[in-house]
Copies of this chain bind each other. A is one copy, B any other.
Amino acid sequence: MSNDNNEKTAEYFATQQKEISVSQFFEKNKHLLGFDNPTKALLMIVKEAVDNSLDACEEAETVPNIKVVVKNSEGNNFRVSVTDNGPGIVKEQIPKIFGKLLYGSKFHHLKQSRGQQGIGISAAVLFCQLMTGKPAKIWSKTSNKKYTHYCELLIDSNRNEPDVIKEEDIENSVIKEHGTKIEMEIVGRYRRKQGVDDYLKQTSISNPFAKITYHSPDGKKTVFPRSVTKLPKPAKEIKPHPYGVEFGILDRMLKKTNAKTLVSFLTKEFSSVGSKGAREICKLAKLKKSASPSSLKRAEIKKLLLAMQKVKIQRPPLDCISPIGEEEFKKSLKKEYPEAEFVTAITREPAVYRGTPFQIEVGLAYGIDGRDDKSAEILRFANRVPLMYQAGAGAILEAVKKTDWKRYGLQQPAGSIPLGPLIIAIHMASSWVPFISESKEAIAPYPNIVKEIKLAIQDAGRKLSSFLSGKRRLGEQKRRLQAFERYATEVAYALSELTEKNRKEIENKIIELIKERTKLRKDGDGNE
């Protein structure tokens, strides 16, 4: 236990301590953001850019037109560009938005959006530069400017700051009225399944109002058209709910507020707290209604927090979420799966976890080509973004497996995904989705979330069930009628013997009758 070695002293160790920038952190831990392998990396680059574009358009209440181009440039390098018709970005903000991690507009606001951390697009830029050394290129035009601003940038990862290497205003660009284009280059691998193609198809399902044009590396052009022309009602920002706040946050809010009294603090800074509720909270906490918020001591704050969680308070306002909608969900499933015999969708009433509102939607499409004996295909969405990886770890798969699908007429191996030609599409919309990792690949399986998903599946499952039993009934009837048809000649013969009428005439009438009955049943079938 001697310390005679100079290199082993506290003083020596002190010289080794150093700050780590968040860029350096993610550069070294790139797998945390989903850049594990070349296929996934290529997908992530497209995903971050498209998510950003859709968020920008939706915020500006513009019906999105998105163009995605993925080109194999050299060797394993792929050049990805995404162009949108959003509001554009003012030129002073471009470097930070694309060249600084943990910078953005959504982290501090409580409402549904695709991005929530301010990491996605800048991490994509960081990763591209790490793998290819190439800067990101950005074109952006706002509606009140004549020129498109062009900018090339890298990220100085030691400082987590943008490093602009070229910047100019250009007159004629691809952007006509307003919008943003980003181009990045990455080392990747192109695969159709679980890659960019699947991601864009699913994005089109959860964003029925968006038109996406896609040029794939093999030179193919695919257009995912809109299935509805109207944007959804925009999500509104809300204040935190008393049930979802921790000691440290409450403490900070008390210190920062402009409110002069506790009652006004509670009603002004939180959602769903009226003056009656606020007075009740003060009473239960044994605190003066007129107390100055910033004067509260630790023990008092603790009492206040407990009271806030005990007093019955209305759920938070629900206009901070913007679901896909039952009709819209059905339309987009029909558009992407035209072969489906039956399509249904359910949007549950919003629910709340830890003070945060969320809403579950389930869409089912039955009769999908080539999937008869396989497990159903599960599409997972969070705030309209398709989740492509880590299905095993999340709330959605857990809920699907825990559902008793036999009740709805499907086969299901014990505790597993049901079998059949079925698409199960599940969407969670929330002002804050609890992802299990920064790469946002799966929703944490909190019990109330899993429960709500199960309930939504059950609602949709009942509809599927009545379709399937109708289909079965129809099948039986058809078989019976077919048998009858087969014996029509003989029956006609017997009847003509009995009635002494023309045999051919009787036979024709029987066949007509059969046809009519079959048609009748067919009309009763199909989509609701």
Contacts and interface: CB of A to CB of B under 8 A. Distances in A.
Contacts of A298: 133-134
A449 to B, nearest CB: 13
B18 A103 contact: yes
A127 to B, nearest CB: 9
Main SS class of interface, A: loop
A19 B61 CA distance: 25
A130 B298 CA distance: 12
Number of copies: 2
A3 B178 contact: yes
A274 interface: no
Interface string A23-46: 011011101100010000000000
Contacts of A436: 31, 437
B18 A133 contact: no
Which of A10, A19, A25, A246 has most B Cβ within 10 Å?
A10
Interface residues of A, number: 77
A133 B301 contact: yes
Given A20-B102, A103-B18, A133 B438 contact: no
A19 B178 CA distance: 25
Contacts of A104: 17-18, 20
A393 interface: yes
Contact of A437 (B1, B103, B109, B437): B437
Given A3-B143, A20-B104, A13 B130 contact: no
A520 interface: no
B10 A107 contact: no
A100 B19 contact: yes
Interface string A104-121: 110111000000011000
A62 B1 contact: yes
Nearest to A10: B142
Contact of A21 (B17, B87, B102): B102
A177 interface: yes
Contacts of A133: 247-248, 251, 298, 301-302
B18 A105 contact: yes
Given A25-B117, A178-B3, A103 B17 contact: yes
Contacts of A10: 87-90, 142-143, 178
Contacts of A483: none
A499 to B, nearest CB: 68
A378 interface: no
Interface of A: 1, 3, 5, 8-11, 13-14, 16-22, 24-25, 27-29, 31-32, 36, 56, 59-63, 85, 87-90, 92-93, 96-97, 100, 102-105, 107-109, 117-118, 129-134, 142-144, 157, 177-178, 246-249, 251, 298, 301-302, 392-393, 432, 434, 436-438, 444
Given A16-B109, A20-B108, A27-B249, 20 more contacts: A1-B63, A3-B178, A8-B59, A8-B61, A9-B60, A10-B90, A11-B90, A13-B59, A13-B89, A17-B103, A19-B103, A20-B103, A20-B117, A20-B118, A22-B102, A32-B437, A130-B246, A130-B248, A132-B247, A436-B437
What 3 pairs across the A-B complex have the smallest Cβ distances?
A130-B248, A16-B105, A10-B142
